[in-house]
């Protein structure tokens, strides 16, 4: 399942999951370009990955700003040449709130970062993939996009939209040798998302932290939260030749909580 000679771009790569995916692709032999919102976070991630022997470069960008997205793709081309084989769209934000308390600004920001950011990177990477006749696009949805989550109407809506976008692009790009799939992780421990979600339940429902953990694990047949390694492993597979006959799929990484 090695990626020698491949070039990958990973967004949201200063966060726990994005950084782990970028590091894993590097370990498998890929050259990886990363981006995240803040340059300090990007530089730290690049340093950690290169210290472990990987080939990694990066540039900060706000994924909702098309000019900044274009700059990232241009920087990746300058670093690794005019090819890009793998795009992993991890960048996103999570938000919670009762529907009557969600502002229009809250709604628009959640959709912009999660949906527009994913769209913009695909838009500007696809020409490189078409030129090479090959590409793997891996988007990040969520279990909340599959079944919805209370207090997360804006987040659930945005993640459901990513699944629809994934399916539409899978049809559109199949003839160009490009597959498009997405992951739908459940709550993943040791991530900022889990910290935000648990804090939201503690605040909005006055639940003690240990009760929040029990609430989520009680619904998972395998009896635990997802680990970062679980998510990385499925991403690696979707980026590999082993997944060449898979496109338009929304893969659950939820311990059996979602089975559709």
Q: In the chain, pLDDT over 90 holds for what percent of residues?
A: 85
Single out the catalytic residue among 155, 171, 201, 245: 155
Across residues 217-223, what is the average pLDDT?
92
Q: What is the pTM of this model?
A: 0.94
In this prediction, residue 211 carries a pLDDT of 81
Name the pLDDT band for 212 (thresholds 50, 70, 90). confident
Q: In the chain, pLDDT over 70 holds for what percent of residues?
A: 95
- 2: how many CB neighbours lie within 10 A of its CB? 11
Sequence-ordered strand ranges (E) for the chain: 7-11, 31-35, 55-58, 86-89, 135-140, 178-185, 250-253
Q: Which two tokens stand for residue 37?
A: 């919102």
Q: Where along the chain do its domains lie?
A: 7-253
Q: Are 89 and 11 in contact (CB under 8 A)?
A: yes
In this prediction, residue 203 carries a pLDDT of 74
Indicate if 171 belongs to the active site. Answer: no
CA separation for the pair 147, 72 (Å, rounded): 33
pLDDT at residue 229 is higher than 70? yes
CA separation for the pair 41, 58 (Å, rounded): 10
The mean pLDDT value of the chain amounts to: 95
Name the pLDDT band for 1 (thresholds 50, 70, 90). low
CA separation for the pair 88, 185 (Å, rounded): 14
Instruction: State whether CATH 3.40.50.720 applies to domain 7-253.
Output: yes
Across residues 37-54, what is the average pLDDT?
97
* ∠ Cα 39 180 68 (to 5°): 25
Per-residue DSSP letters for 153-171? HHHHHHHHHHHHHHHHHHH
**What tens digit of pLDDT does each residue of 154-206 get?**
999 999 999 999 999 999 999 999 999 999 999 888 786 767 677 766 676 67
Q: Are 37 and 72 in contact (CB under 8 A)?
A: no
């Amino acid at each position: 399942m090695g990626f020698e000679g491949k070039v990958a771009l990973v967004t949201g790569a200063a966060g726990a999951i994005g950084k782990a995916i970028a590091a894993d692709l590097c370990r498998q032999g890929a050259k990886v370009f990363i981006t995240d919102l803040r340059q300090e976070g990007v530089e730290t991630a690049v340093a950690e990955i290169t210290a472990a022997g990987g080939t990694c470069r990066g540039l900060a960008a706000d994924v909702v700003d098309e000019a900044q997205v274009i700059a990232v793709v241009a920087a990746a081309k300058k670093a690794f040449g005019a090819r890009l084989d793998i795009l992993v769209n991890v960048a996103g934000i999570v938000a919670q709130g009762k529907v009557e308390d969600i502002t229009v600004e809250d709604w628009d920001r959640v959709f912009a970062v999660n949906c527009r950011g994913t769209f913009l990177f695909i838009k500007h990477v696809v020409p490189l993939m078409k030129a090479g006749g090959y590409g793997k696009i891996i988007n990040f949805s969520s279990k909340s996009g599959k079944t919805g989550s209370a207090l997360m109407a804006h987040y659930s809506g945005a993640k459901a939209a990513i699944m629809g976008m994934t399916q539409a692009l899978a049809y559109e790009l199949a003839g160009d040798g490009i597959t498009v799939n997405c992951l739908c992780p459940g709550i993943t421990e040791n991530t900022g998302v889990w910290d935000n979600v648990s804090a939201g339940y503690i605040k909005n429902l006055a639940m003690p932290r240990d009760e929040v953990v029990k609430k989520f694990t009680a619904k998972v047949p395998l009896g635990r939260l997802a680990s970062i390694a679980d998510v990385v492993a499925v991403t690696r597979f979707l980026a590999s030749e082993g997944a060449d006959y898979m496109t338009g799929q929304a893969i659950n990484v939820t311990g059996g909580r979602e089975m559709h």
